[in-house]
Structure 1
Amino acid sequence: MSRTETAPRSESSIPVFDGHNDTLLRLWADPTGQAAEFFFAGGAGGHIDAASAKAGGLAGGLFAIFPPSPRDQSLSDAMRIAPYDLPLPAPLTQSGAASDTVAMAAILFRLEARSKGALRVCRTVAAIEAAMAAGALATVLHIEGAEAIDADLAMLDVLHAAGLRSLGPVWSRPNWFGHGVPMRYPSSPDTGDGLTEAGRRLVRRCNELRILVDLSHLNEAGFGDVARLSDAPLVATHSNAHAICPVSRNLTDRQLAVIRDSGGLVGLNFATAFLRPDGQMDEDTGLDVMVRHLDHLLEHLGEGGVALGSDFDGAMIPRGIGSAAGLPALLDVMLGAGYGRELVERIAWRNWLDVLRRTWGG
């Protein structure tokens, strides 16, 4: 790891490209129906809007579509006290998930149309670079939980034509493609069966279309199936080190080695239950534990294999960051910990663009 004794302390010129947020879900689910209208005007709430992105240097990221399961209690609330083993929600229907997926995709495309160039849906790395150079928010369409896609994968082709460039086959609930990990602490990620035959077809077709396959939320068996099938770099968009926080959602050192050997990448998840050694969701979590995870990931993945995957708008994050506007606080802690500016830039955005280029081509 590149460390310097006199690391620069100004992070103001370092942009962030983030591997995961649930902002589209928040805008879609807002009970007033007005959140998307206020995304550029202020008052949208949550972790990401135009103002907070600009204030924090958030230059872009993978914007997830997550078809939700009905539930009575938020996961963050249920994970405040460890140990826990939360029951998995029931599987979704394809028709219901497809309806929700299209609705959230429409929000992103409407934001782009309304933005007058301030937000761009990007389908290539060149488009991301152009958006960042112009000061526009570079968004990439991602799906977390592929229930909207039929087993024959017709919907996958349609979504790819619309701009889909990254996909997580499962969220934690099971679907016809495979099995995710439960929200369980303490637990290994070895929690059940892997990909189904439909899941294996999905991975192969994603490789053909050059759609990134996200390992986050897959259980250990599914992770191994993707590793054996995929010819692309292995990527977990928002996961942490199991050696530090032994929750089922985090990656073991063996999994990190497999990702490293593929030339892949892991995005640091800001969700406090996946950061803290005690596995609890708690806003009063110091940023030093994030550096502990980064150090571990750098040791096992190398400097080209570590990035950020905040889970903004999808989880309880440390109070010291608070929203996208607080990203400079994390960069400052990294610089203060002795990370050289070049390494901070790689983690903040360059590594994401590198792995997307290797995955998408061009």
Structure 2
Amino acid sequence: MTDALIPVFDGHNDTLLRLALGRAGRDARSFFDEGKTGHIDLPRARRGGFCGGLFAMFTPSRMSEGEELELSPRDPANFAPVSRHVAEPFTQRMIEMARSVEVLSGGDVVIARSVAEARLAMSDGKLAILLHVEGVECLKTDLSNLHGLYQAGLRSLGPVWSRKNEFGDGVPMSFPSSPDTGSGLTEAGRDLIRACNTMGIMVDLSHITEKGFWDVARLSTKPLVASHSNVHAICPSPRNLTDRQLEAIRASGGLVGVNFHVGFLRPDGQQNSATDLDQVVAHTDYLLEKLGEDGVALGSDFDGCTVPDAIGDVAGLPHLIDRYRLAGYGEELIRKIAAENWLSLLERTGI
């Protein structure tokens, strides 16, 4: 491993959910102590070069504080609908968790409301958080509470998680499967895409059905983005993207963040953490071929998935960077994938 750390701006993690649920005794103060569970805290982030990212706010179908969630694809209870009356206050709870982390950090963590703020924080050695909602069950269908979330710092959202809501339909976690598994956007979903385009909120297509993907592609005037998805031709999970979807993302000037979840990396779809980093490189190579050097980034899914043992947690990011070097990636390309492509994409989205 080289001594110089490559700065990483990552497209997706579930750390706020982990903190909000108090899993394994975690809370806002624990974010500043190096832990042995989970994937992200500030000491490990600094050791790994992680200097910013999109921090997701997700409301599970079922949750119990202090316990790990088991999102087995075989248990339909994990994918049951969630009401706004549950999701709205829980989303506010995660926003308050992010604010608590920011305040307790003494300036070392910043909730950025623009790319310019994120770049400044990162250049000053701070951790930049951009807030993202994963599955918009917290929104009213008339979008009357969207502005309040924007004022709180929301700059990115995924209309659906892997379940149906009032805005659209998400793909299941089955394997193998096509992403063409359900319906697309509802009228409220179409209104949401238009509002996001106007306000400068990024729309994330990870988790959406193929019909929903094409609905967004027809409506959106902004680059198409899948923050944490991989290649369906390599791993036939419905969470991954077909060649036709990748073509549309490239044509829009969009981006895909490589997901570290082993079940979305491996051709056999197995949840085996003893997965070689060659699998990450294989997906990255394929995405580079289809999207070009400006269309590929990282979307780890830290704190929400099973990552390869060779990465382990956020402190292990340099292992992946060195594996990219071994694969022949130049330093300029690595820096694009690690951070710059995300920041440039968010700028093009108007953030």
TMscore range, shorter length: over 0.9
Contact 1:120–1:137, Cα closer than 8 Å, also in 2: yes
CA deviation after TM superposition for structure 1 residue 41, in Å: 2.9
Q: Aligned pair in 2 of structure 1 residues 31, 260: CA closer, same or farther (>3 Å)?
A: closer
CA distance in 2, matches of 1:163, 1:213: 15
CA distance in 1, matches of 2:21, 2:196: 28
Q: Which residue of 2 aligns with 1:157?
A: 147
Q: Superposed, which structure 2 residues align to 1:348-359 within 5 Å?
A: 348-359=338-349
Q: Which residue of 2 aligns with 1:105?
A: 95
State yes or no: 1:70 paired with 2:43. no
Q: Which residue of 1 aligns with 2:187?
A: 197
Match of 1:127 among 101, 109, 117: 117
Match of 1:35 among 27, 30, 37: 27
Contact 1:145–1:169, Cα closer than 8 Å, also in 2: yes
The count of residues paired between Structure 1 and Structure 2 equals 348
CA distance in 1, matches of 2:229, 2:278: 17
Q: Aligned pair in 2 of structure 1 residues 227, 114: CA closer, same or farther (>3 Å)?
A: same
Match of 1:16 among 8, 24, 34: 8
CA deviation after TM superposition for structure 1 residue 174, in Å: 0.5
State yes or no: 1:45 paired with 2:55. no
CA distance in 1, matches of 2:87, 2:222: 27
Q: CA RMSD in A?
A: 1.7
Q: Which residue of 2 aligns with 1:3?
A: none
CA distance in 1, matches of 2:270, 2:224: 28
Q: Which residue of 1 aligns with 2:52?
A: 60
CA deviation after TM superposition for structure 1 residue 88, in Å: 6.1
CA distance in 2, matches of 1:158, 1:11: 43
Q: Aligned pair in 2 of structure 1 residues 215, 24: CA closer, same or farther (>3 Å)?
A: same
CA offsets, 1:277-332, max 9 Å, x none? 00111110000010000000001000000000000000000000000000000000
CA offsets, 1:30-62, max 9 Å, x none? 256543221113347310000110000001100
TM-score of the superposed pair, with normalisation by structure 2: 0.96
CA distance in 2, matches of 1:199, 1:211: 14
Could you tell me which runs of 5 or more consecutive residues in structure 2 were left unpaired when the two chains were aligned: none
* Structure 2 counterpart SS, 1:233: coil
State yes or no: 1:327 paired with 2:317. yes
Q: Aligned pair in 2 of structure 1 residues 228, 88: CA closer, same or farther (>3 Å)?
A: farther
Could you tell me which runs of 5 or more consecutive residues in structure 1 were left unpaired when the two chains were aligned: 1-8
CA distance in 1, matches of 2:69, 2:271: 11
- For CA contacts below 8 A with separation 6 or more, give which structure has more relative contact order: 1
CA deviation after TM superposition for structure 1 residue 110, in Å: 0.9
Match of 2:269 among 271, 274, 279: 279
Contact 1:53–1:325, Cα closer than 8 Å, also in 2: yes
